[in-house]
Structure 1
Amino acid sequence: MSDYLKNPLSLFDVKGKVAIITGVSGAFGALAAQILAASGCKLVLTAGKKTELDAVAKTCTDAGAEVEALNVRPSSEAICEQVVAAAVKRFGKVDILVVASGKNDVSKITEMAPERFLDVMDANVTQSWLMAKACSKQMLAQGQNGQGTGGKIVLMSSARGLLGHPAGYTAYCASKSAVDGMTKALGCELGPTGITVNAIAPTVFRSPLTAWMFEDNDNAKTVRNGFLTRVPKGRLGEAEDLAGPLLFLASKASDFYTGHILYADGGYTAG
């Protein structure tokens, strides 16, 4: 009998793994850091907002994790390589990458300057590509150096990568569709090396940016109810709804999954 059949929960064991997480000042990045810290990972955390970065880093160290915190955004190839180098210097390797950095800029196309569109594409697409490039190079080198092969790359997509939105989401929808395409292409490219590349795609979930949708007022109720008519589970998402998908995609449990978009959406994209 396979060892995993004797102890199936061992498939989700990431203790001792080294994880880089970008964008920990955001709701998903902070959650990812806390989940992987509590699961025994060693962490390299990045964010452009130092106050939030320090707060998340403290939460993780208080949970017993070893943490390297870098006050940077993955905005250039040099910075992404510096992040990976810091991980290797501190912990000796990179096993997991979670790209949680990104942005949205809501505007009708007729009112949106090209620079604003390109800024969203850069934050969500180019920076994801740069981090994936830097980490995959290191993961491949580790295999060549006899430290074992493979790695886990988890990108952040959205239900908006599949579905449009009428309220000025051209930049965001286009960027998340590009992340989906990148996930599939990298899943095919890196699959033979043992590196898996997958994406988590939520619909609306509670965060500082969406907190207004959960409030008890007429405007929030109208918007919320509009979403709920499309969500079979009958509610909007909570941050913890992303915890299970993250741990799955970051662990051995997902070894046969690559190029996959995992919709954490309560069934929103199924209907």
Structure 2
Amino acid sequence: MSKSPDWLKHPASLFDVRGKVAVVTGASGAFGALASQVLAGAGAKLVLAAGNAKALAETESACVQLGAEVATVARRPTTEADCEAIVTAGVQAFGRVDILVVGSGLNDPVPITEMPLERFEAVMDGNLTGAWLLCRAFGRHAIPRGEGGKVVLVSSARGKLGHPAGYSAYCASKAATDGLTRALGCEWGKHGITVNAIAPTVFRSPLTAWMFEDTEHANAVRAGFLARVPIGRLGEPEDLAGPLLFLCSRASDFHTGHTVYADGGYTAG
């Protein structure tokens, strides 16, 4: 009888990221702060980047309280220099970067007929160009090192579905994020680097807190939205935590180029 693989004795070890070095951008935002704390609690070393210094310090403090070693970079991934500096900060602090989580991004809902080009470009830059530049900076570090790596981008259900409320820039940027995920998944497979995206729909955060309230307006909006969600509820932070940890760990070593919809089935119907 053949001997069972060691991981079968401890299947949870497949999700172990202890000692891994993770760069998280947008660490002051809802998803970035959540990702930072999930990885901190799981034992990763962190390099947190954000433009909001006060909120960045709050995320840093939360991660330190969870026992993580943390370095911070008060920069947004806006320019080539910013993105190179963010990845370099991880190398300088901990000697390498194993995981990149691109949690930065923005939305600016405006009907297309009223949207100035510069506002469209700002959304595309914030959601796509910054992610592309961060991936390039990460690849320039990780590929020569030859030890593989993990990249997690943040897409949206709106990368697959349209929206009537002036989302022409946001939907286009997230569809492009899905395309970048597929392209790099193919390009970097030979290097042992997996590239995947998480695509949430509405989940509890400071920006969406009003949708969880018991008010006439919130109840009406929520009911209309939930009519299309098979699971029948809005998302909670822990609904994103599991997919994130999966995509950052060796449990996902055979998964790349995928967009994982953490949406309660919203995009399935």
TM range (shorter): over 0.9
Aligned to 1:127: 130
Does 1:94 find its partner at 2:100? no
Aligned to 2:73: 70
Q: Normalization by structure 1: what TM-score?
A: 0.97
Distance 2:22 2:89 in 1: 12
Does 1:181 find its partner at 2:208? no
Q: Deviations over 1:41-66 (max 9, x none)?
A: 00000011000000100111121111
Distance 2:65 2:235 in 1: 27
**Kept in 2: contact 1:27–1:239 (CA 8 A):** no
Aligned to 2:188: 190
Aligned-partner SS, 2:152? strand
The 4+ residue runs of structure 1 with deviation greater than 2 A are none
**Kept in 2: contact 1:121–1:171 (CA 8 A):** yes
Percent of paired sites with the same residue: 65
Aligned to 1:146: none
Aligned-partner SS, 1:98? strand
Does 1:35 find its partner at 2:28? no
Distance 1:225 1:181 in 2: 32
Distance 1:64 1:237 in 2: 27
**C-alpha deviation, 1:13, in angstroms:** 0.3
Aligned to 2:140: 137
Distance 2:220 2:6 in 1: 51
What is the aligned-residue RMSD (CA, Å)? 0.8
Residues matched between the structures, number: 266
Q: Deviations over 1:128-167 (max 9, x none)?
A: 0011110111111211xxxxx2100000000000000111
Aligned to 2:153: 155
Q: Deviations over 1:195-227 (max 9, x none)?
A: 000000011111111112112222211211111
Q: Normalization by structure 2: what TM-score?
A: 0.97
Aligned-partner SS, 1:53? helix
What are structure 1's unaligned runs of at least 5 residues?
144-148
Aligned to 1:237: 235
Letter in 2 for 1:177: A
Aligned-partner SS, 1:75? coil
Does 1:55 find its partner at 2:58? yes
Aligned to 1:217: 215
Distance 1:178 1:61 in 2: 34
Aligned to 2:12: 9
**Kept in 2: contact 1:36–1:247 (CA 8 A):** yes
Letter in 2 for 1:122: D
Distance 2:64 2:105 in 1: 25
Letter in 2 for 1:164: G
Distance 2:223 2:164 in 1: 16
Aligned to 2:257: 259
Aligned to 1:204: 202
Q: Deviations over 1:201-257 (max 9, x none)?
A: 011111111112112222211211111011011001112210000000000000000
Aligned-partner SS, 1:20? strand
Q: Deviations over 1:42-99 (max 9, x none)?
A: 0000011000000100111121111001110011111111111111111000100000
What are structure 2's unaligned runs of at least 5 residues?
none
Letter in 2 for 1:44: V
Q: Deviations over 1:164-206 (max 9, x none)?
A: 0111111110000000000000000001110000000011111
Distance 2:205 2:111 in 1: 23
